[in-house]
Copies of this chain bind each other. A is one copy, B any other.
Amino acid sequence: MDKLDLNITIIGLGLIGGSYAMALKELNPKKIYAVDIDEKAIDDAEKIGIIDKGYLEADIPLKESDLVIICLYPKLVEKFVKDNINNFKNGAVITDVTGIKSEFIKEVNSILRDDIDFVFGHPMAGREQKGLKFASKDVFKGANYIITPTERNKEKNLRFVEELVKKIGFKNVMSISPEKHDKIIGFTSQLPHVIAVSLVNSDNLGVETGLFTGDSYRELTRIAQINSDLWTELFTGNKENLVREIEIFEENIKKIKNAIINEEKELLSEIMEKASKKRKEMS
Protein backbone atom coordinates (compact mmCIF):
# COMPACT_ATOMS: atom_id res chain seq x y z
CA MET A 1 0.00 0.00 0.00
CA ASP A 2 1.20 3.51 -0.75
CA LYS A 3 2.48 5.36 2.23
CA LEU A 4 1.29 8.77 3.28
CA ASP A 5 4.67 10.41 3.83
CA LEU A 6 3.66 12.38 6.90
CA ASN A 7 3.48 12.39 10.63
CA ILE A 8 0.00 13.30 11.82
CA THR A 9 -1.26 14.33 15.23
CA ILE A 10 -4.92 14.35 16.12
CA ILE A 11 -5.92 16.62 18.98
CA GLY A 12 -8.96 15.24 20.79
CA LEU A 13 -10.05 11.60 20.56
CA GLY A 14 -13.81 12.07 20.62
CA LEU A 15 -16.22 10.83 18.00
CA ILE A 16 -14.71 12.94 15.22
CA GLY A 17 -11.06 12.72 16.28
CA GLY A 18 -11.38 8.97 16.68
CA SER A 19 -13.05 8.66 13.30
CA TYR A 20 -10.22 10.65 11.69
CA ALA A 21 -7.66 8.37 13.31
CA MET A 22 -9.45 5.29 11.98
CA ALA A 23 -9.81 6.69 8.48
CA LEU A 24 -6.26 8.10 8.30
CA LYS A 25 -4.67 4.93 9.64
CA GLU A 26 -5.88 3.20 6.48
CA LEU A 27 -3.85 5.65 4.41
CA ASN A 28 -0.73 4.32 6.09
CA PRO A 29 0.93 7.52 7.37
CA LYS A 30 4.47 7.44 8.78
CA LYS A 31 3.20 7.97 12.29
CA ILE A 32 -0.16 8.91 13.69
CA TYR A 33 -0.27 10.38 17.18
CA ALA A 34 -3.12 11.64 19.32
CA VAL A 35 -3.47 13.97 22.27
CA ASP A 36 -6.30 13.80 24.76
CA ILE A 37 -6.81 14.71 28.42
CA ASP A 38 -8.61 11.40 28.89
CA GLU A 39 -6.12 8.62 29.57
CA LYS A 40 -8.66 5.94 28.82
CA ALA A 41 -9.33 7.32 25.34
CA ILE A 42 -5.59 7.19 24.64
CA ASP A 43 -5.25 3.65 25.97
CA ASP A 44 -8.26 2.48 23.97
CA ALA A 45 -6.99 4.10 20.78
CA GLU A 46 -3.56 2.52 21.20
CA LYS A 47 -5.11 -0.87 21.96
CA ILE A 48 -7.33 -0.93 18.89
CA GLY A 49 -4.35 0.24 16.87
CA ILE A 50 -5.77 3.40 15.33
CA ILE A 51 -2.87 5.51 16.61
CA ASP A 52 0.83 4.75 17.01
CA LYS A 53 1.06 6.59 20.31
CA GLY A 54 -1.09 8.81 22.46
CA TYR A 55 -0.10 11.70 24.72
CA LEU A 56 -1.63 13.70 27.54
CA GLU A 57 0.45 16.73 26.52
CA ALA A 58 0.88 17.94 22.96
CA ASP A 59 4.48 19.21 22.88
CA ILE A 60 6.28 15.99 21.95
CA PRO A 61 4.08 14.81 19.06
CA LEU A 62 3.55 18.32 17.69
CA LYS A 63 7.30 18.86 17.22
CA GLU A 64 7.48 16.12 14.61
CA SER A 65 4.05 16.42 13.01
CA ASP A 66 3.57 17.73 9.47
CA LEU A 67 -0.20 17.71 9.86
CA VAL A 68 -2.22 18.50 12.97
CA ILE A 69 -5.97 17.92 13.05
CA ILE A 70 -7.63 19.70 15.93
CA CYS A 71 -10.89 17.98 16.89
CA LEU A 72 -11.85 20.06 19.91
CA TYR A 73 -14.85 22.21 20.80
CA PRO A 74 -14.61 25.65 19.10
CA LYS A 75 -13.62 27.59 22.23
CA LEU A 76 -10.80 25.16 23.00
CA VAL A 77 -9.16 25.39 19.59
CA GLU A 78 -7.89 28.94 20.03
CA LYS A 79 -6.61 28.14 23.50
CA PHE A 80 -4.88 25.02 22.23
CA VAL A 81 -3.11 26.91 19.44
CA LYS A 82 -2.07 29.69 21.81
CA ASP A 83 -0.75 27.29 24.46
CA ASN A 84 1.19 25.30 21.88
CA ILE A 85 2.28 28.05 19.53
CA ASN A 86 5.96 27.21 20.05
CA ASN A 87 5.48 23.46 19.80
CA PHE A 88 4.37 23.17 16.17
CA LYS A 89 6.89 21.86 13.63
CA ASN A 90 8.21 24.44 11.22
CA GLY A 91 5.88 24.71 8.21
CA ALA A 92 3.22 22.50 9.76
CA VAL A 93 -0.28 22.37 8.30
CA ILE A 94 -3.06 22.55 10.85
CA THR A 95 -6.70 21.87 10.17
CA ASP A 96 -9.82 21.73 12.31
CA VAL A 97 -13.40 20.46 12.36
CA THR A 98 -15.15 23.49 13.78
CA GLY A 99 -18.77 24.11 12.80
CA ILE A 100 -18.58 27.94 12.86
CA LYS A 101 -15.91 29.96 11.14
CA SER A 102 -15.99 33.77 10.80
CA GLU A 103 -15.11 35.06 14.28
CA PHE A 104 -13.26 31.90 15.13
CA ILE A 105 -10.92 32.20 12.15
CA LYS A 106 -10.13 35.86 12.90
CA GLU A 107 -9.21 34.97 16.45
CA VAL A 108 -7.08 31.97 15.53
CA ASN A 109 -5.33 33.67 12.61
CA SER A 110 -4.35 36.57 14.86
CA ILE A 111 -2.21 34.29 17.04
CA LEU A 112 -0.62 32.03 14.41
CA ARG A 113 3.07 31.80 13.66
CA ASP A 114 3.96 32.95 10.12
CA ASP A 115 5.32 29.58 9.03
CA ILE A 116 2.22 27.63 10.04
CA ASP A 117 -0.62 27.20 7.57
CA PHE A 118 -4.02 26.68 9.18
CA VAL A 119 -6.49 25.34 6.62
CA PHE A 120 -9.92 25.69 8.17
CA GLY A 121 -12.26 22.83 7.41
CA HIS A 122 -15.71 21.61 8.35
CA PRO A 123 -16.52 17.94 7.90
CA MET A 124 -20.32 17.82 7.64
CA ALA A 125 -20.53 14.49 9.32
CA GLY A 126 -21.25 13.29 12.80
CA ARG A 127 -23.31 11.03 14.94
CA GLU A 128 -25.83 11.66 17.67
CA GLN A 129 -23.46 9.98 20.12
CA LYS A 130 -20.22 11.33 21.48
CA GLY A 131 -16.90 9.74 22.39
CA LEU A 132 -14.33 7.43 20.87
CA LYS A 133 -16.43 4.30 21.27
CA PHE A 134 -18.86 5.56 18.62
CA ALA A 135 -16.09 6.57 16.22
CA SER A 136 -15.99 4.89 12.82
CA LYS A 137 -14.12 5.49 9.59
CA ASP A 138 -17.51 5.26 7.86
CA VAL A 139 -18.70 8.51 9.46
CA PHE A 140 -17.17 10.41 6.53
CA LYS A 141 -18.27 8.16 3.69
CA GLY A 142 -20.14 10.16 1.06
CA ALA A 143 -20.34 13.23 3.31
CA ASN A 144 -19.82 16.87 2.41
CA TYR A 145 -16.75 18.83 3.46
CA ILE A 146 -16.33 22.59 3.44
CA ILE A 147 -13.01 24.43 3.25
CA THR A 148 -13.00 28.13 4.13
CA PRO A 149 -9.78 29.50 2.62
CA THR A 150 -8.19 32.63 4.03
CA GLU A 151 -5.58 34.95 2.55
CA ARG A 152 -2.90 33.28 4.64
CA ASN A 153 -3.40 29.86 3.05
CA LYS A 154 -0.95 28.44 0.52
CA GLU A 155 -2.68 27.03 -2.52
CA LYS A 156 -0.78 23.73 -2.25
CA ASN A 157 -1.95 23.22 1.34
CA LEU A 158 -5.57 23.90 0.41
CA ARG A 159 -5.24 21.28 -2.32
CA PHE A 160 -3.51 18.89 0.09
CA VAL A 161 -6.37 19.04 2.61
CA GLU A 162 -8.94 18.69 -0.16
CA GLU A 163 -7.24 15.58 -1.54
CA LEU A 164 -6.72 14.10 1.90
CA VAL A 165 -10.36 14.37 2.95
CA LYS A 166 -11.46 12.87 -0.35
CA LYS A 167 -9.17 9.93 0.34
CA ILE A 168 -10.88 9.26 3.67
CA GLY A 169 -14.32 9.21 2.11
CA PHE A 170 -15.72 12.71 1.74
CA LYS A 171 -17.57 13.11 -1.53
CA ASN A 172 -18.03 16.83 -2.17
CA VAL A 173 -15.43 19.35 -1.04
CA MET A 174 -16.60 22.92 -1.41
CA SER A 175 -14.54 26.08 -0.90
CA ILE A 176 -16.41 29.13 0.37
CA SER A 177 -15.68 32.18 2.48
CA PRO A 178 -16.00 31.91 6.27
CA GLU A 179 -18.92 34.38 6.18
CA LYS A 180 -20.82 32.40 3.57
CA HIS A 181 -20.06 29.19 5.47
CA ASP A 182 -21.67 30.54 8.62
CA LYS A 183 -24.78 31.70 6.80
CA ILE A 184 -25.21 28.37 5.01
CA ILE A 185 -24.51 26.29 8.09
CA GLY A 186 -27.05 28.31 10.07
CA PHE A 187 -29.64 26.93 7.71
CA THR A 188 -28.44 23.43 6.76
CA SER A 189 -27.10 22.33 10.12
CA GLN A 190 -28.01 24.58 13.04
CA LEU A 191 -31.66 25.19 12.15
CA PRO A 192 -32.36 21.43 11.85
CA HIS A 193 -30.93 20.93 15.34
CA VAL A 194 -33.06 23.78 16.74
CA ILE A 195 -36.10 22.18 15.10
CA ALA A 196 -35.41 18.64 16.32
CA VAL A 197 -34.95 19.82 19.90
CA SER A 198 -38.10 21.94 19.74
CA LEU A 199 -40.14 19.10 18.26
CA VAL A 200 -39.23 16.69 21.04
CA ASN A 201 -39.90 19.36 23.65
CA SER A 202 -43.36 19.90 22.13
CA ASP A 203 -44.41 16.38 23.07
CA ASN A 204 -47.36 16.82 25.40
CA LEU A 205 -49.11 13.55 24.64
CA GLY A 206 -48.67 11.80 27.95
CA VAL A 207 -48.30 8.45 26.18
CA GLU A 208 -45.29 6.36 25.28
CA THR A 209 -44.59 8.35 22.13
CA GLY A 210 -42.39 5.69 20.52
CA LEU A 211 -45.40 3.37 20.14
CA PHE A 212 -47.20 5.89 17.95
CA THR A 213 -44.46 7.13 15.65
CA GLY A 214 -43.64 6.42 12.05
CA ASP A 215 -40.24 6.89 10.44
CA SER A 216 -40.91 10.60 10.07
CA TYR A 217 -40.89 11.47 13.77
CA ARG A 218 -37.93 9.22 14.46
CA GLU A 219 -35.91 10.76 11.64
CA LEU A 220 -36.80 14.33 12.51
CA THR A 221 -35.78 13.84 16.13
CA ARG A 222 -32.67 11.61 15.97
CA ILE A 223 -30.42 14.66 16.30
CA ALA A 224 -32.34 15.88 19.35
CA GLN A 225 -29.95 13.53 21.12
CA ILE A 226 -27.62 16.44 21.18
CA ASN A 227 -24.28 17.36 22.73
CA SER A 228 -25.61 20.41 24.56
CA ASP A 229 -22.21 21.92 25.47
CA LEU A 230 -21.00 21.82 21.89
CA TRP A 231 -24.22 23.12 20.36
CA THR A 232 -24.63 25.90 22.90
CA GLU A 233 -21.26 27.17 21.65
CA LEU A 234 -22.21 26.72 18.01
CA PHE A 235 -25.63 28.40 18.36
CA THR A 236 -24.41 31.43 20.29
CA GLY A 237 -21.29 31.68 18.13
CA ASN A 238 -23.43 32.07 15.03
CA LYS A 239 -26.28 33.97 16.63
CA GLU A 240 -27.16 36.48 13.93
CA ASN A 241 -27.20 34.00 11.08
CA LEU A 242 -29.08 31.40 13.06
CA VAL A 243 -31.73 33.75 14.39
CA ARG A 244 -32.39 35.02 10.88
CA GLU A 245 -32.82 31.46 9.61
CA ILE A 246 -35.12 30.60 12.51
CA GLU A 247 -37.26 33.61 11.69
CA ILE A 248 -37.56 32.67 8.03
CA PHE A 249 -38.59 29.20 9.16
CA GLU A 250 -41.13 30.65 11.59
CA GLU A 251 -42.69 32.59 8.72
CA ASN A 252 -43.02 29.43 6.67
CA ILE A 253 -44.61 27.55 9.56
CA LYS A 254 -47.06 30.40 10.00
CA LYS A 255 -47.91 30.37 6.30
CA ILE A 256 -48.81 26.68 6.29
CA LYS A 257 -50.63 26.99 9.62
CA ASN A 258 -52.82 29.78 8.28
CA ALA A 259 -53.56 27.79 5.14
CA ILE A 260 -54.70 24.89 7.33
CA ILE A 261 -56.80 27.15 9.58
CA ASN A 262 -58.50 28.71 6.56
CA GLU A 263 -58.70 25.38 4.75
CA GLU A 264 -57.07 26.92 1.68
CA LYS A 265 -56.53 23.61 -0.04
CA GLU A 266 -55.02 24.99 -3.23
CA LEU A 267 -52.52 27.08 -1.30
CA LEU A 268 -51.66 24.10 0.89
CA SER A 269 -51.05 21.99 -2.18
CA GLU A 270 -48.85 24.71 -3.69
CA ILE A 271 -46.77 24.99 -0.53
CA MET A 272 -46.24 21.25 -0.47
CA GLU A 273 -45.54 20.95 -4.20
CA LYS A 274 -42.90 23.66 -3.92
CA ALA A 275 -41.09 21.88 -1.10
CA SER A 276 -41.49 18.50 -2.73
CA LYS A 277 -39.98 19.68 -6.01
CA LYS A 278 -37.07 21.43 -4.28
CA ARG A 279 -36.27 18.41 -2.10
CA LYS A 280 -36.45 15.99 -5.02
CA GLU A 281 -33.97 18.11 -6.96
CA MET A 282 -31.56 17.98 -4.03
CA SER A 283 -30.75 14.32 -3.89
Residues in A lying within 8 Å of B, measured CB to CB: 124-126, 143-144, 146, 172, 174, 183-185, 187-189, 191-205, 207, 209-226, 228-229, 231-232, 235-236, 239, 242-243, 245-257, 260-261, 263, 265, 268-269, 271-276, 278-280, 282-283
Contact = CB atoms under 8 A, between A and B. Distances in A.
Contact of A124 (B185, B213, B269): B213
B211 A193 contact: no
A251 B198 CA distance: 9
Given A219-B219, A272-B232, A125 B214 contact: yes
A226 B196 CA distance: 19
Contacts of A252: 197-199, 201-202
A225 B192 contact: no
Contacts of A201: 252, 255, 271, 274-275, 278
Given A199-B195, A219-B222, A225-B280, A269 B189 contact: no
B200 A253 contact: no
A257 B243 contact: yes
B280 A260 contact: no
Contacts of A196: 216, 220, 275
Q: Which of A191, A194, A260 has the most B CB atoms < 10 Å from its CB?
A: A260
Q: Which 10 A-B pairs have the closest CB atoms?
A: A228-B272, A198-B252, A124-B214, A200-B275, A197-B275, A224-B279, A192-B216, A210-B282, A224-B275, A202-B249
B217 A192 contact: yes
Main secondary structure of the interface of A (DSSP, over half): helix
Given A187-B205, A225-B279, A228-B276, A239 B261 contact: yes
Contacts of A193: 216
Given A174-B211, A279-B225, A216 B189 contact: yes
A207 to B, nearest CB: 7
Contacts of A184: 205, 207, 212
